[in-house]
Amino acid sequence: MRNAFSILRKSVMRLAIISAWLVFSIFISAAATSSVDTSLIAHFPLNGNAKNSVTSGVSGKSTRVKATADRHGTPKSASLFKPGPGMEFSMMEFPLDISPKKYPEITITFWIKAEETFKSLAPLQSGNDESRRIITRTRDGAQRWCASAGKDGNIYGTAVLKDQWTFIAVVYDSPNEQARLIVNNEVFAGRARMGNSNPGILAGSFSGAMDELMIFGRALSLEEIESIYGSQIDKNTEEFPIKDRSSYRQKREASKLSGIKQGDQYIVGYKELMIRDSIRSLNTIYIFREGDTISVISEMGKDWFLVTNPKGEQGYVSGKTLKANAYRTGDFKPLFRLLNWISQLFMMNRFANWIVAAIFLAIIYFAVKYRVKLNNWFARIGKQSETEAFASKAQKKSGIKRPPILQKYFPVQYPKWWMIAPGLLFGLLIIAGSFWDSSELEWYFSEGAKIVPQDFTLPIHWVLWAVSLVIILLIIALALESLSIAGPLAGLLRFAMLAVLNVMAIVVFLYLLAGIILIILGIILLIFALSMLFSGGSRRRYDY
């Protein structure tokens, strides 16, 4: 009986110990799972194979790759890449899309040892020159580790050293068009306008070894990269932070939304407004007429709205269409139409806009040609109003005296197009900036245009700022000239006229440039057609 009781007691104790161990194991496993970085897309230990240690990840395929010792000397813990038959390198293929479209932000880290340093290497790539990849290129007499920067070339790091394990980390931030390359303990920064890549990664195209390839779906911090490196990164660390220069795009996208809310009322400002049977549909169920009041019943998502009129007819309309064809109750209808017309003035696919541009050109031509008469006319108006309001009889005969310094420089006689100089320069700025770097031009006019330069990192920023400053000075000069010629009140009227003329000059400049481009393209096509015609006609057929 005692033996049975002893055996039972020991069995219960063993069961308790096992249960306690299971509970402890589950707790530890849960804690470890909660500490795993969920942004880790893939972890390839590269122990002579292309297996992915991330549970949800997909493993790759290796060709002619052998296991070798890692940086710690542990056997069969890294992958050895060697040239194969016909100089075909051993390689690994990973079915992983690391393009900016898939991962706007990404961090790639690995260890590498090169056995050759006299030629270009491509240890990790995902496509052409504009894709995300890590390569080596020659600079200052040595092969250097590089991170591809797409349209901006490469970001160069330190020289490649033979048979030395090197830590590489690359951070790509496509929304901000920036990249950071880390080679061992040193940071290298640069702009990176990347293109999309192939849906796969290729490792190889070099002679040497690689270990511990890790890919994260976000931009890691410097401290996180240091923890992977296992040592401090202490050179050029001030270049590592990436400033947010993409938020303006989100603001711009938000500004494209109509801002229409439930309960808002509008009045149709044009002849007809088409009402659809569902959101994003082209089927018309009602036509609201000019003057009809539109009530917004509810927002249906994607900036579409359910609306109704006094007759109780209900249908759907997009916010963009509603704002373009109707105005809020209480607003001024002629002003609505004027602003709407101006907003559509740069749609070059409309023939009517080309006619308007031609009329603007004629107005500018006559304004420049008869600028002296216009100045005299404004001067007469200004002096008359001033003498009637403030001057004595003696002053009425002699007129108003302008400040000597203004008399010295104004009115400007040459160049003849002086009065529209700001508009022409602004048009040139837009065109040249678009060809130079359209994304930076967009950023500058969204957030970067300030009197005191801030966050300027590229030459185009300084050029845009300098030209903008010149335009501001020209506008100030035109204001002073108007004051000098016609006095305060009439001068303000003249300045308003010049503002309108400069807006016209911008429109004309853009349309003239577009017209010149179309003419050049037309001439090229005509020459090509004639060459094809004559070359075809010159062929002779011989019948035997």
Q: Report whether 190 contacts 155 (CB < 8 A).
A: yes
- Of residues 398 and 323, more confidently modeled: 323
Express each pLDDT in 487-497 by its tens digit. Answer: 888 889 999 99
Range with lowest mean pLDDT among 216-220, 366-370, 414-418: 414-418
Please answer whether residues 170 and 235 qualify as being in contact, where contact means their C-beta atoms are separated by less than 8 angstroms: no
Least confident span in 71-75, 332-336, 403-407, 470-474: 403-407
Query: What's at 267, amino acid-wise?
Result: I
Strand 293-301 to strand 66-68: parallel, antiparallel, or no bridges (unpaired)? unpaired
Q: How many Å apart are CA 194 and CA 150, to the nearest integer?
A: 4
pLDDT(39) > 60: yes
Q: Residue 34 and residue 493: Cα distance in Å, rounded?
A: 70
Structure tokens at 41: 């897309």
Longest dimension (CA), the chain: 139
pLDDT band at 13 (very low <50, low <70, confident <90, very high): low
> In a 3-state reduction of DSSP, which class is residue 91?
strand
User: Angle 51-56-59 (CA atoms, 0-180°, nearest 5)?
Assistant: 20
CA 129 – CA 35 distance, rounded (Å): 37
pTM (2 decimals)?
A: 0.69
Q: Helices 459-537 & 371-389, crossing angle to 10 degrees?
A: 150
What does the alpha-carbon distance between residue 65 and residue 88 come to, in Å, rounded to a whole number?
12
Report whether 527 contacts 521 (CB < 8 A): no
Angle 389-392-393 from CA coordinates, rounded to 5°: 115
538 vs 390, residue with greater confidence: 538
**CA geometry: angle at 367 spanning 363 and 373, to 5°?**
145
Strands 272-276 and 284-289: antiparallel
Helix (H, G, I), strand (E, B) or coil at 112: strand
Name the amino acid, one letter, at 421. Answer: A
Instruction: Taking each helix axis as running N to C, give the angle between helix 459-537 and helix 351-369, from 0 to 180 degrees, rounded to the nearest 10.
Output: 120
**248 pLDDT above the threshold of 80:** no
Tell me whether residue 308 is exposed, middle or buried, using C-beta atoms within 10 angstroms of its C-beta: 0 to 12, 13 to 18, 19 or more. middle
Q: What's the mean pLDDT in 77-83?
A: 90
| pLDDT at residue 235 is higher than 80 | yes
- Could you tell me the two tokens for 230? 């296992």
Residues 268 and 294 sit within 8 Å (Cβ to Cβ): yes
CB 508 within 8 A of CB 357: yes
Name the token pair of 67.
């296991």
Over the stretch 43-64, which tens digit does the pLDDT of each residue have?
A: 999 998 988 888 667 888 888 8
Within a 10 A sphere around the Cβ of 60, how many other Cβ atoms?
Answer: 23
Q: What are phi and psi of 231, to 5 degrees?
A: -155, 175
User: Of 250-259, 450-459, 460-469, 531-540, which gets the smallest average pLDDT?
Assistant: 531-540
Q: Describe the chain by its helix, strand, coil percentages, rounded to 5.
A: 45, 25, 35
Chain mean position to CA 492: 39
Alpha helix ranges (H) inside 230-350 = 247-256, 319-325, 333-343
The string of DSSP letters for 151-190 reads: TT-EEEEEEP-BT--EEEEEEEETTTTEEEEEETTEEEEE
For 87, left (φ over 0), alpha (ψ -120 to 50), or beta? left
What whole-number distance in Å separates Cα of residue 506 and Cα of residue 342?
Answer: 13
pLDDT (tens digit, 9 = 90+) per residue, 458-472? 899 999 999 999 999
Residue-range domains of the chain with CATH? 40-237 (2.60.120.200), 258-343 (2.30.30.40), 351-530 (no CATH)
CA distances from 246 to 217, 250, 252 (A): 18, 7, 10
What pLDDT, on the 0 to 100 scale, is given for residue 402?
58
DSSP 218: S
CA distances to 418, 476, 503, 504 from 498, rounded to whole Å, are 10, 12, 9, 10
| Burial of residue 216, with CB atoms counted within 10 A of its CB: 0-12 exposed, 13-18 middle, 19 or more buried | buried
Which secondary structure element, helix H or strand E, spans residue 469, and what is its range?
helix 459-537
Cα separation, 458 vs 440, in Å, equals 9
164: Cβ contacts below 8 Å, ≥ 6 apart: 113
For the record, the structure tokens of 459 come out as 């030459």
Q: Tokens standing for 236?
A: 């050029």
For residue 4, report the phi and psi dihedrals to the nearest 5 degrees: -65, -45
Q: What is the pLDDT of residues 293-337, one digit of tens each?
A: 999 999 998 889 999 999 999 999 999 899 989 999 989 899 988
Exposed/middle/buried for 342, CB within 10 Å: 0-12, 13-18, 19+? exposed
Q: What are the φ/ψ torsions at residue 122 (nearest 5 degrees)?
A: -140, 70
The token pair that represents 456 in the structure block: 């300027």
Cα–Cα distance, 459 to 462 (Å, whole number): 5
Q: Please tell me the number of Cα atoms within 13 Å of 152 on its side-chain side.
A: 19
Q: What is the Cα–Cα distance from 432 to 341, expressed in whole angstroms?
A: 26
Q: Of 92-106, 254-268, 499-513, which gets the smallest average pLDDT? A: 254-268
